[in-house]
Structure 1
Amino acid sequence: MKFQDWEMLATLYETENITQAAERLFLSQPTLTSRLKNMENYYGVQLMNRKQRGITFTPEGEQLAQHAVRMLHEQRKIEEKLHNMKNQVAGTLRVGVSNFFALNKMPKLLRLFKQSYPDVEFQVVTGWSSEMHRLISNHDVHISFIKGDYAWNEQKDLLYEEEICIASPWEFQMEDLPTLPRIDYYTDEKMRSLVEHWWYNNYKQPPNINIQVNQVETCKEMVINGLGYAILANLVVRPHPELFIKPLYLPDGKPITRKTWMYYHEDTLELNIVKAFVQFIQTIDVKAL
Structure 2
Amino acid sequence: MKISDYELLIKLDEIGTIRGTAKVVLISQPAVTQRLKYIEEYFGEQIFLRTAKRLKLTPAGEIILSHAREVIKREEELLNRLAQSSEEVQGTLSIACSSLISQRFLPKILGEYTTKFPKVAINLVTGISEDIRQDHKKYDVCIIRGEKLKESACVRLFADPLYIFDTEPFPDDEVKKRPLISFKSDDSMHELVENWLYYHQDSIKTIKTMTVDQIETCKQFMKQGIGMAVLPKSVSDSMMNEYPHLPLMLDGESVTRDTWVCYQEESKQLPQVNHFIDALTSTKFL
Q: Which of the five TM-score ranges fits, normalised by the shorter chain?
A: 0.7 to 0.9
- Any conservation in 2 of the 1:186–1:214 contact (CA below 8 Å)? yes
SS in structure 1 at match of 2:6: helix
Does residue 273 of structure 1 match 2:272? Answer: yes
1:15 alignment partner in structure 2: 15
Deviates more, 1:112-121 or 1:81-90: 112-121
Report the CA distance between 1:220 and its aligned residue: 1.6
Q: Partners of 2:119 and 2:219 in 1: how far apart? A: 37
User: Structure 1 276/214 Cα, relative in aligned 2: closer, same or farther at 3 Å?
Assistant: same
- Any conservation in 2 of the 1:185–1:213 contact (CA below 8 Å)? yes
SS in structure 2 at match of 1:62: helix
Deviates more, 1:200-209 or 1:67-76: 200-209
Match for 1:26: what amino acid? I
Report the CA distance between 1:150 and its aligned residue: 4.0
- Any conservation in 2 of the 1:167–1:237 contact (CA below 8 Å)? no
Does residue 236 of structure 1 match 2:240? Answer: no
Taking only aligned residues, the RMSD between alpha carbons, in angstroms, comes to: 2.7
Alignment length (residue pairs): 280
1:54 alignment partner in structure 2: 54
Task: List per-residue Cα deviations over 1:155-201 (Å, max 9, x = no partner).
Answer: 11111102222112232137634x22332222222212322233345
Q: Partners of 2:200 and 2:89 in 1: how far apart? A: 52
Give the 5 Å matches for 1:40-51: 41=44, 46-51=46-51
Q: Which runs of 5+ in 1 are unaligned?
A: none
Report the CA distance between 1:6 and its aligned residue: 2.6
Does residue 81 of structure 1 match 2:84? Answer: no
2:106 alignment partner in structure 1: 106
Task: List per-residue Cα deviations over 1:2-41 (Å, max 9, x = no partner).
Answer: 5344333322221222333345273614413422431552
Task: List per-residue Cα deviations over 1:39-65 (Å, max 9, x = no partner).
Answer: 552xxx553322102211234422332
2:162 alignment partner in structure 1: 164
The one of 184, 187, 190 aligned to 2:188: 190
Deviates more, 1:114-123 or 1:187-196: 114-123
Q: Partners of 1:202 and 1:215 in 2: how far apart? A: 26
Match for 1:11: what amino acid? K
2:40 alignment partner in structure 1: 37
- Any conservation in 2 of the 1:133–1:150 contact (CA below 8 Å)? no
Task: List per-residue Cα deviations over 1:118-154 (Å, max 9, x = no partner).
Answer: 444433221111122234x222x22121111044212
User: Structure 1 242/21 Cα, relative in aligned 2: closer, same or farther at 3 Å?
Assistant: closer
Match for 1:162: what amino acid? D
1:63 alignment partner in structure 2: 63
- Any conservation in 2 of the 1:91–1:119 contact (CA below 8 Å)? yes
SS in structure 2 at match of 1:207: strand
TM-score, normalization: structure 1?
0.84
Q: Partners of 2:196 and 2:157 in 1: how far apart? A: 24
- Name segments (4+ residues, structure 1) moved above 4 Å: none
Report the CA distance between 1:77 and its aligned residue: 1.5
Give the 5 Å matches for 1:117-196: 117-135=117-135, 137-139=136-138, 141-173=139-171, 176-177=175-176, 179-196=177-194
